[in-house]
Amino acid sequence: QDQPRVVLSARGLGRDFGGFTAVNDVDLDVRHGLIHALIGPNGAGKTTVFNLLTKFLQPTRGTITLLGTDITRMRPDRVARMGLVRSFQISAVFPHLTVLENLRVALQRPAGLAVQFWLPLSTLNRLNARAEALIDDLGLTAFRDTRAADLSYGRKRVLEIATTLALDPEVLLLDEPMAGMGGEDVQMVADIIRNVARDRAVLMVEHNLAVVEDICDEVTVLQRGKIIAHGDYATVSENPQVRTAYMGT
C-alpha cells in the first residue's frame, strides 16, 4: 500500500555516554501527514533520540536524513532552518503580549526582522495575515487580543505550538505536549495536534497512552535505548514484550 513520504529518518542511530549506551540501533521513519509517537518507560532514551534528531547531541553511530539530505553532521540551527523544529526551541511565549502580538514576534524572528523597529508595509501586512491565519487554524480566534498570561494552561500550550508553526516546519517534534494538563485541555490540544499534522509530520513523546491511541498513526516503543516494537497502537499494545516491559501487565 502507498505510504506518505518519509521526511525524517534515522538509521542505526546510537549514542554512548562514556561507557553507557543510552540509545542503540534505532531506525525511525517520520512521514508527512502522520503523527508518530515515541513511547517507553523513563530512561528508555526518548529525550536522547530527540536531542540526536535535532542535533543538540552528536550521534555516536548512525545517520539522520531530513528531506533527503544527510543532516548527521549538521548544526542544530541549520537543521531548524531546514524544517525540523522542536516545540520548546522557540516556544518563548511573552506573557505580557497578546496572542496576536506573540505570533507577530514569532513570525518576525525567522525572517531576521526581530531587531528592526521599522518594517515595510508589505512585510507588515504579510506578517499580520500569517498571524491571523495561524490564530484561526489553531482555534485561538476568540483569544486574539488576550494577553498570554491570561490564557488557560492548555491554550498557552496551543500558543506555544502556534509560535513553533511560525517557522513553517516540515517536521514538528513535540516533547510531552500534554504534560500537566487536565482532561478538557488534553482533548483540545490533541485535536489541535491532529489538525497541525495534516500538512506536516509530527513526532511526539507522550506518556498519556489514551492520547497515543487516539491521535497517533504510528508508535515506536523504546526500552533501554532499543526499539522493542513498532506499528500502529493496536499492534504495539498487543506485543507481549511491550506489555511486560512498558505497561506492566
Shortest distance, position 20 Cβ to ligand ADP, whole Å: 6
- Using the minimum distance from each CB to ligand ADP, give the nearer residue, 103 or 222: 222
Task: Please state the closest distance from residue 19 (CB atom) to ligand ADP, in A.
Answer: 10
Cα(146)–Cα(200) distance, integer angstroms? 28
Chain residues in the site for ligand ADP (CB under 6 A): 17, 20, 22, 40, 42-48
Smallest distance from the beta carbon of 40 to ligand ADP, in angstroms?
Answer: 6
3-state secondary structure of 241: helix
Q: Parallel, antiparallel, or unpaired: how do β-strands 201-205 and 20-31 relate?
A: unpaired
For ligand ADP, which is the closer residue by CB, 58 or 69?
A: 58
Comparing CB distances to ligand ADP, the nearer of 45 and 169 is: 45
Cell numbers 488557560 correspond to: 152
Nearer to ligand ADP, 17 or 153 (CB): 17
Minimum distance from CB of 83 to ligand ADP (Å)?
Answer: 24
Burial 40-76 (b: 16+ CB within 10 A, else e): beeebbbbbbbbbbbbebebebbebbbeeeebbebeb
E strand or H helix that includes residue 22: strand 20-31
